[in-house]
Amino acid sequence: MSRQGHEIAVFGATGYAGQVLVRLLKAHPTLSPRAISARDPASWTPADRAAVGTASAVALALPAEASKTWAPVLREHTKAPVLDLSDAFRTSPGVPYGIFELWPEPIASAHLVANPGCYPTATLLALAPLLRRGLVAQDTIAVVGKSGASGAGKKVAEHLHFCELAGNSFPYNVGRHRHIREIEHHLGAPVCLVTELLPIVRGLSVTAFVRPTCDPAALHRALCEAYEAHPYVHVLDAPDARLGLRHVVGTHDARIAVGPVTASGLVPVFCSIDNLMRGAASAALVALNRLHGLDPHAGLAAPVPPGPALPGMKAAWT
């Protein structure tokens, strides 16, 4: 065990999300990381086996196929809970889904927990409270998401080369994005999702277009009520520059805003997060805290208040 008493075995500690999770665990008052070098069960060393055997939890910061390979192996080797950061188990029956603000049910007894994806996190934070209250139509939801290149991981691909991405922005995986199924599964409604790459390293924003079934002002009120007790989700009083990615990168914060109803009858709902923090590693830390019976936000920096609306701006939903 670590000197803190709770050592977390981290697979994939050299990936982008894994690196951030290891840094968070190193600064945690109770948990600490132990990087596991094995890439597959065939390369599992005795030292790795021993580390996993004494760990209080395992974090899989690996691609989905690797997680599917490791999960049954770990089930046979340890009784410690496994937190998977990939999309391998996010829609599996009986597997808790780790957005604390939306699914606060206890997970301490779970053997396997699915960490949510980055686009699903932002989309669900923005829309789930509205769908749950029946405030928007379920058959008219379109989402445009934009993120930094770190969301694609470390794999080599031509469109991720510096010369292709710098000073550029373009859509990708239109109609076949791997997060569509996850969003629809947990939102309970069909979604048209279009994602675009930005020429930045990290940060993610979504703009969801919904058709309200009520006074549009009720959307803002519902979001404020849903997150009143959750300090890391900020519902802005107007959509403005405070939604900018520079305000959320490096934090666990999520910023949400509701726009005005348009001539089409649609209302835009916005959410900004850091794809490597709230969309991956800091969400994983919250899940690990919950698995250990700790304060969910232990080890996280305090949330950053967004402040009042910028001069000249007013609430668009009034």
Q: How far apart are CA 75 and CA 68, in angstroms?
A: 12
Of 189, 229, 212, the closest CA to residue 102 belongs to 229
* Phi and psi torsions of 297, nearest 5°: -105, 15
Of 212, 295, 205, the closest CA to residue 247 belongs to 205
User: Is residue 277 classed exposed, middle or buried when 0-12, 13-18 and 19+ CB atoms within 10 A define those classes?
Assistant: buried
Q: Name 88's Cβ contacts closer than 8 Å, sequence gap at least 6.
A: 64, 65, 67, 68, 71, 114
Q: Name 281's Cβ contacts closer than 8 Å, sequence gap at least 6.
A: 17, 18, 20, 21, 24, 61, 85
Q: How far apart are CA 51 and CA 63, in angstroms?
A: 21
Run of H or E including 287: helix 282-291
Reply yes or no on whether 118 is catalytic.
yes
Q: How far apart are CA 169 and CA 253, in angstroms?
A: 25
Residues in the chain: 318
Q: Are 296 and 100 in contact (CB under 8 A)?
A: yes
| DSSP strand pairing (82-84 vs 57-60) | parallel
Catalytic residue (choose from 118, 214, 224, 271): 118
Q: Name 220's Cβ contacts closer than 8 Å, sequence gap at least 6.
A: 235, 237, 258, 315, 317
Cite the active site residues: 118
